[in-house]
Amino acid sequence: MTPTPDPRRPAQPPIDPRRFAPATERNRAPILELLTRVLPPAGLVLEIASGTGEHAAFFARRLPHLSWQPTDIDAAARASIVAWTAEAGLDNVRPPLALDAAQSNWPIDRADAIVAVNMIHIAPWAAAVGLLGGAARILAVGAPLILYGPFKRDGRHTAPSNEAFDQNLRRQDPSWGVRDLETVVETAHAAGLALTETAPMPANNLGLVFRRR
């Protein structure tokens, strides 16, 4: 039997599933500038590891000619993506998919572009390898894969802040860490992708544009 609610007790507000990432507001404008130049004029953009969903909502609102497919391995993140999309009232964002980049059985077999923001350093290296291989598998020739985040150059950090960030990541999980740019490029080349642009970004980050060969 369902208990009768006590009218003397105030109703509890519903729990907000939205997550917030402080870095999003700082990096979304420069990333959008890169995406506006590089993404195709129409088609489906697959976002890997969408996290909170703030980027998906921000980019999709400003790129209405594109359909956005967010993904995340974490169920709570997917709930946050749904909530951000609903709040924004967007009809060009698809329901988020559960996707583990390290696995080959992705729940999507084609996309016109792929975006991964702050992903490969907060995941095991196998996820980066899987991302590059998956991009080569589902992108058409010439279609872009855009990565954003910090990278080492020739095995060295480009700023003390990146080195401190790398150390903090590795304390959380030894399989995480800022990746070496040259290693990423070599791995991408072996998968069938060519680096076509390296764009300096704020806070010692880079925007990398690969295209399917």
Instruction: Tell me the per-residue pLDDT of 50-65, one tens digit each, with 9 for 90 and over.
Output: 999 999 999 999 999 9
User: Is 168 within the bounds of a domain?
Assistant: yes
Instruction: Tell me the per-residue pLDDT of 79-121, one tens digit each, with 9 for 90 and over.
Output: 999 999 999 999 999 999 999 999 999 999 999 999 999 999 9
Which pTM was predicted? 0.91
In this structure, of 2-16, 111-125, 132-146, the range with the lowest mean pLDDT score is 2-16
- Domains in the chain, number: 1
Give a three-class secondary structure readout of the chain.
CCCCCCCCCCCCCCCCCCCCCHHHHHHHHHHHHHHHHHCCCCEEEEECCCCCCHHHHHHHHHCCCEEEEEECCCHHHHHHHHHHHHHHCCCCECCCECCCCCCCCCCCCCECEEEEECCCCCCCHHHHHHHHHHHHHHECCCCEEEEEECEEECCECCCHHHHHHHHHHHHHCCCCCCEEHHHHHHHHHHHCEEEEEEEEECCCEEEEEEEEC
> Which is more confidently placed, 15 or 135?
135
| CATH number (domain holding residue 187) | 3.40.50.150
What pLDDT is recorded for position 10? 60
> Which is more confidently placed, 154 or 24?
154
User: Is 109 within the bounds of a domain?
Assistant: yes
Give the residue numbers spanning the domain of 149.
28-212
pLDDT band at 22 (very low <50, low <70, confident <90, very high): confident
